[in-house]
Structures are given as structure tokens and as C-alpha cells.
Chain A
Amino acid sequence: MKRRVFLKNTIATGAAVVAANAGLLTPTTVLADWNKDAFSAKSTGDALNSVFGSSATAASGDIKLKAPAIAENGAVTPVTVDATAMSGVESIAILASKNPVPLVCTYSFSGAALGYASTRIKMGETMNVIAVVKADGKLYQAEQEVKVTIGGCGG
């Protein structure tokens, strides 16, 4: 009986220690604050302005944007942005033009990272997926229309 209690206690304290460690180990690098302005902007232009400080983009064939032509379920649209053919890629932003908040996600790269990001996004209706890549201080853009048969943002 005592052995049971002992075991129970050690497991409980063990879990607590693990939790404490996890707390201590969380990001050692200082995180950039979540860009609230960009993520509440209602148009793609405004969103780009607050992410990159500019919305002037040039089309580029070096960005490989992979998204389905027809998404059966808009709630899970796979999107891949491959800018590894470009040099000096600093960051990538993925936007869905007609979503209530167009900006979906941003990735900024440093150190060992390559300009590549793959994710799955929600889309409410048929619209363009836009990938904006910042390379060597300039903005480049690629976009593709995705036809959505079932929206992914409603209840």
C-alpha cells in the first residue's frame, strides 16, 4: 500500500519538474512581437504595408507557389511557397485575398533556414493565394487562383 502511494507521489512530482523545466526552456531567443496591425488589416495592401513597410511588389517567376486549382475543402488548402531559387530571401508572407483578414502567415528566415514554407490554410471562397517574398530588400510576388467548393471559414 505504501509503495503505491510512494509511486504516485514520485510520478506527480516528476510531472511538476518536467513542467517547470519546460517553462524555463521556452524560447531563449527574444521573439518579435506578434504583428497585430498586419493581422487585423482588412486588405492585402494594408497587410503588406505593416509587414514589410511597403506594398509595391514585382511579379517573379522564381517563386514556386504550389496550391490546388480546385480545393474541395477550403478549410484545409495546402500551400507551398518555394523561393529557394532566389538569393537573399529574408521572409515570406502568405495571403488569401478575400479572407476577412487576408494575411495568413509570415515566415522570417535567418541562419540555416532556406526560403521555403509549406502549410495548410483556410479559405472562405474562391480567391487568389498570394505569396510575397522579400529578397535582398525587394518584394516579389506570385499568385494563383484557388477555386473553393466548400468554404472553410463559416460555422
Chain B
Amino acid sequence: MSIKIRMRGKSKGGVAEVKALIKHPMESGVRMNKKTGKPFPAKFIDTVTVTVNGAAAVDSQWSGAVSANPYMAIKVNANSGDEVKLALTDNTGATGEASLKLK
């Protein structure tokens, strides 16, 4: 099942702030399940890449300490109409992808 991502971005004076909201539990693997006394298995997004018009821009690595349902915002040099694409993978191999044409 792919990971759900909502993206928004607007270019202003050649600089665009791109925001993304990702639906993901971000389970760190440390939190205990009180009923069983064992930790909940880790499930968190570990790599996120952002490309602008197909060229790599941001390469990000996360740990389980990023909040559940992560929010991320970055800034890129881009004009309206440019395509920004976000791809991510979690530690269990699930992937998600979203792209956006800047306003």
C-alpha cells in the first residue's frame, strides 16, 4: 500500500516553499505495548527525496523521532509551472510518491 502524501507549493520571486503532509504512523520501535510488554515494531519513513523538474534537490534521511503524520517544508529555487516531485520509503519497504506543479 502506498503512503499517502498531500503536497502544496507556491513560487514567489523565484523561490518556492514546498510543504508536504504525509500520513504515516512513524513508530520508532521504542514505544512499549503495555499489553504484551514488547515494543511496537518499528515502522517509520527513512528516506525522502525531492526533485525539481527531474533534478535532485533534497535528499533527506529520517529516524523514528520524526512525529507521526510528518509535516515537512523545504525551499527551492523554482518558478511557477515547475514540477516538484517527492518520493519516500519507510523501513519496511513501503513507498509513497507525489508530485506537484508549482503555482
Contact = CB atoms under 8 A, between A and B. Distances in A.
Contacts of B77: 112-114
Contact of B72 (A25, A103, A112, A119): A119
A29 interface: yes
B71 A119 contact: yes
Contacts of A35: 61
B65 A114 contact: no
Interface string A88-107: 00000000100111011111
A111 B59 contact: no
Contacts of A153: 28, 30-31, 65
B72 A106 contact: no
A117 B51 contact: no
B71 A113 contact: no
B30 A108 contact: no
Contacts of B61: 32, 34-35, 39, 105-106
Chain A interface residue number, banded: 35 or more
B84 to A, nearest CB: 9
Contacts of B57: 109-113
Contacts of A75: 67-68
B28 A122 contact: yes
A110 B91 CA distance: 24
- With most chain B CB atoms within 10 A of its CB, the pick from A26, A105, A116 is A105
B22 to A, nearest CB: 11
B78 interface: yes
A113 B65 contact: no
A120 B75 contact: no
Contacts of A114: 15, 74-77
A29 B57 CA distance: 11
B56 A111 contact: yes
A53 interface: no
Interface in A124-143: none
B32 A103 contact: no
Given A25-B97, A105-B61, 9 more contacts: A26-B95, A28-B54, A77-B67, A104-B62, A106-B61, A109-B57, A153-B28, A153-B30, A155-B34
20 contacts: A22-B95, A26-B87, A34-B47, A75-B68, A104-B65, A105-B61, A106-B60, A109-B57, A111-B52, A112-B57, A112-B78, A113-B57, A114-B15, A114-B74, A116-B75, A119-B70, A120-B67, A120-B71, A122-B26, A155-B31
